[in-house]
Amino acid sequence: MSCARAVDEKDSLAIDMTVPELGENVSVSGKPLQILGEYMVEGLVARLASSGHSIYKALKWQKPNGSEMISYQRELYAVCPYLKFGYVSANGAIAEAVRGEDMIHIIDFRISQGVQWISLIQALAARPGGPPTVRITCIDDSESAYVRGGGLEILGNTLSDIAREFGLPFEFHALDISVSEVEEGHLGVIPGEAVAVNFNLTLHQIPDESVSAANHRDRILRLVKQLSPKVVTIVEQELNTNTGPFTQRFAETLDYYTAIFESIDVERPREPKERTKMEQHCLARKIVNIVACEGAERVERHEVFSKWNARLTMAGFRPLPLGSRVKDNLRTLLHYYSSNYRLAERDGVIYLGWKNRALVVSSAWH
C-alpha cells in the first residue's frame, strides 16, 4: 500500500525505496500473498512505465497461443468453483423461467467457449412432453476468438452436434461485433419466443458513464429490457474497481485477489509451472489491467451488487429470486471443494465466497 501511494503521488524517492524491497519479497511460487504481490508489483511498474496497450509489452510473461490458453482456462475451471457457480445458477434460473415454453431464444452477451450451454441443452432435451426449439444468439469477443483459433463457427458446429445428439431442435446465430456495438436489430427476436438473456462476467467490461458519454453499460440494459425477456441472468465479481481513487482500487484488488489465490493454494501445489502459467494468463493480466490502466484502456471495471441493483432497477427490471432447486444444485457443487467456500443468500441473490469474503454474485431479473 505504501508503494501504491507513492506511485499515485509520483513520489520518486519512495518509489525507488519500495519497489526494490517488494521485488525481494514476492514470488510466483511463494505463498498466496507473495504470488499476488508479484502481479501487483508488475501492475505498479507498468503503470509507471507505460500507458494503454503498450502496458502489456512491459510484462515478464508472453501471451500464450490459443491451445495453451484453453488448457490454462480449463485448469482454472477445474481448480475453482467460481465459473461453475455462474453456469449452474444462471442455467437453473433460465430453465425455471422458460418452463413450458416451446420456442426459446437465449441471447448470450459473451459466450466464450460455450461450455455453459452444454448442460442446459441436455436438460431441455430431456424435458417431459418433448424438447422445445432452442435458438442461441451470441456475441463474441476477440480474446475468446483468439483462444478458439477462429470465429464462432467452430463453437456453433459443436453445440449443434450436441443438440442433434440429444434430439433438440437447435439454431445458432453469431454476432461478430463488440458488446458496445449491439443494437436491438442485431438480435433477431421473433414474436412468440421466450427470450432469456445471459451476462456472465460481462457487464463489468462494458464501458459506463465514467468512460464515455454513450454509457453503453446502461444503454445495453435498457435495450435488453425492450426485448421483454422472461429472464436476465447476471453473474459478476463482487468488488469495486470502477470509479474510486487509485489507492482505494488497489486496496480492493489486493483484498479480493488474496482470497482468490488462497483458494487456489488449497487445491493445487505451488511448484508446478502449469499452475503459475494458469495464474499469469487467467488472473494476472486482469490484475495488471486494474492497477496499471486508466480511461478506456481499463476494461476491468467491476461494481458491487448494490450498484448493479440500482442500474437494473433504473432500466425497469425487477428481481427474480433464484429458486430452491438452484440453491440445492450449488450446494451439491460445493461438496467437491474446500469447506472454506461459503454460499450466502440475501433477497433472492446468491453469493459465493471464500471464508468471509464474498467473491461472486449471481442474480436473475425480469
pLDDT in tens, 285-321: 999 999 999 999 999 999 999 999 999 999 999 999 9
pLDDT in tens, 279-294: 998 999 999 999 999 9
82-238+303-365 carries CATH number 3.40.50.150: yes
Q: Kindly tell me if the per-residue pLDDT of 178 is higher than 90.
A: no
What is the band of 54 on the pLDDT scale with cuts at 50, 70, 90? low
Most distant CA atoms of the chain, gap in Å: 73
Count CA atoms closer than 13 A to 63's CA, side-chain side: 10
Phi, psi angles (nearest 5°) of residue 156: -60, -40
Q: Kindly tell me if the per-residue pLDDT of 332 is higher than 60.
A: yes
pLDDT in tens, 66-87: 778 888 888 999 999 999 999 9
pTM: 0.93
Q: How far apart are the C-alpha atoms of 5 and 15, rounded to whole Å?
A: 9
Question: What is the chain's alpha carbon radius of gyration, rounded to the nearest angstrom?
Answer: 21
What is the band of 143 on the pLDDT scale with cuts at 50, 70, 90? low
Each domain of the chain, given as residue ranges in start order, spans 2-60+246-297, 82-238+303-365
pLDDT at 145: 59
pLDDT at 58: 55
